Amino acid sequence: MTTNKNPIHYRPTDNPFAMAVTNNTMILRRELLTRIVKLLHAGRLETEIDRIPYEMRPKGYEEISRCCIYKDRAILKYRAMGILGFGIEEEEDEMTPLAEYVRRAFDRKAISENPLTVMTDACSACVKVNYVVTNMCRGCVARPCEVNCNKGAIHFANGQAHIDPTKCVNCGQCMKNCPFHAIVYIPVPCEESCPVGAISKDEHGKEHIDPAKCIYCGRCLSACPFGAVVEKSHLIELFKSFQSDKPTVALVAPAVAGQFKTSLANIIGAIKKLGFDDVIEVAKGADVTTANEAAELAEKVLDGDQAFMTTSCCPSYYMLAHKHMPEIAPYVSHTRSPMYYTAEIARKQYPDATLVFIGPCVAKRKEAYADPNVDLMLSFEELGTMFVAMGVDTFADSKTTLDGEILASSRGYAASEGVMNAVAGALPAPYREQIRPVVINGIDKQTIREMRGYAKSCPGNMVEVMACEGGCINGCNVIANPKIAARQVKELAKEQPETK
């Protein structure tokens, strides 16, 4: 009998690129990504991919995550399907081997519009009973939980309180009034994390994502403790591009500067070593965003009658405003994102190239699909695993020279207040003094309620909105501690003087 107690590559203590690790589903995802990239790079993916679930969960493996080793292997297979770019709902025959999906992926002509899929077999169908009485209940004489429940949902039996789920309205009064803290709130993690109610249960209790509501913030991807939400990857298409005669050009988001403990120049040099023919900083497009947004703010708000204007470069917020906040949508800037302008620049320079945006979140994958000039998207997490799998050292001196024409403030877009500071700095002094800034640092249910009120009365005249707390450095696909990343991004901005 073979026993492999520690096959994981991404333990915090042995991670060669210091990728931040917060849970075991993240570790599993990165190991699977690394294995698939290694086989892709070696040209052996089709012949060896079906062995991966068995190698990660070999016979005799003792640390199974689910009911049995066979379900562990099945879930790894479904997760691999997502990395190959398939939704779990596309499975027609569960006997279809992964090798067949590899063949189909290489024959595929277009990428998927919806970047997220839910593995229903991995979903634990969390019971939607939010308030639960624990065994710490003392059955006290005061019984404030029962007295303060206006719905009569609490009764006592055998000296313990019990909640009737058919009567409970989840008001939380029982938990607030229990003197022993014996009543606890148990959320459905993915539903609790979603600010717009886009993920919900079907008749079997399994979660599904409604694309009409989803803003692709990636909260559910990060929140699900069973790893049931999977992001579809473009890795196959990327390696197809590497093997083609056309150039492959990377458009790298400013937040990459905080992802690895090395210089931005070394990171760009390392990306080229993966097989890219050129790497263009998306901060170059941020220069255009800054100029356009500053001119728009001056025209509409500072010289015009519009009460305020919000930023538009965060795609999650842009989708939020247009899907869920029609009262705020008219106030969203018409200026396009830095990715959009960078892709325009790159397309003129490389008309026949495959343009690949490298970024921090699922929302950018959705935006990339809609952008006529962007072909593929690679996440920071995928980038990090490619460095590991292909043996590229990000610490090696790449002899790369950064684009000296890019404004330092544009490289600061990645952190909260970065867009605000860049736009304010682009305005003439008289206009700059008129700005009354408001910063929405992360979207949740509370901030959505606040923003809806801005249509009637906004506390400022320029509003920066970032879906992720801290900005792009805290996207769902980042690999560095956001606080460390913020410090690195700000230090880079200080080192690069304004050149325009």
What confidence score (pLDDT) does residue 6 get?
39
**Type of residue found at 353:** A
CA distance from start to end of the chain = 67
Q: Encoding tokens for residue 300?
A: 């509409």
In 10 A of CB 125, how many CB atoms?
Answer: 15
What confidence score (pLDDT) does residue 17 get?
45
Query: Half-sphere exposure of 86 toward its Cβ, with a 13 Å CA cutoff?
Result: 23
Residue 327: closest CA among 199, 443, 195, 450:
450
Q: Does domain 131-187 have CATH number 3.30.70.20?
A: yes
d(CA 152, CA 180): 20
- Give domain limits for the chain: 1-109, 110-124+196-232, 131-187, 243-495
| 243-495: CATH, from 3.40.950.10, 3.30.70.1710, 3.90.1150.170, 3.30.930.10 | 3.40.950.10
- Per-residue pLDDT tens, the chain, 500 aa: give them: 333 333 334 343 344 445 666 788 899 999 999 999 999 999 999 999 999 999 999 998 888 888 899 999 999 999 999 999 999 999 999 999 999 999 999 999 999 999 999 998 888 877 776 899 999 999 999 999 999 999 999 999 999 999 998 999 999 999 999 999 999 999 899 999 999 999 998 888 889 999 999 999 999 999 999 999 999 999 999 999 999 999 999 999 999 999 998 999 999 999 999 999 999 999 999 999 999 999 999 999 999 999 999 999 999 999 999 999 999 999 999 999 999 999 999 999 999 999 999 999 999 999 999 999 999 999 999 999 999 999 999 998 888 899 999 999 999 999 999 999 999 999 999 999 999 999 999 999 999 999 999 999 999 999 999 999 999 999 999 999 999 999 988 887 766 555 44
What confidence score (pLDDT) does residue 247 get?
98
The reply to whether domains 110-124+196-232 and 243-495 share a CATH topology is no
Q: Which CATH class is domain 110-124+196-232?
A: alpha beta
What confidence score (pLDDT) does residue 70 get?
93
Dihedral of the CA atoms 198, 416, 418, 383 (nearest 10)? -70
| Residue 376 · residue 388 · CB < 8 Å | no
Q: How much is the pTM?
A: 0.90
d(CA 128, CA 404): 54
| Residue 363 · residue 472 · CB < 8 Å | no
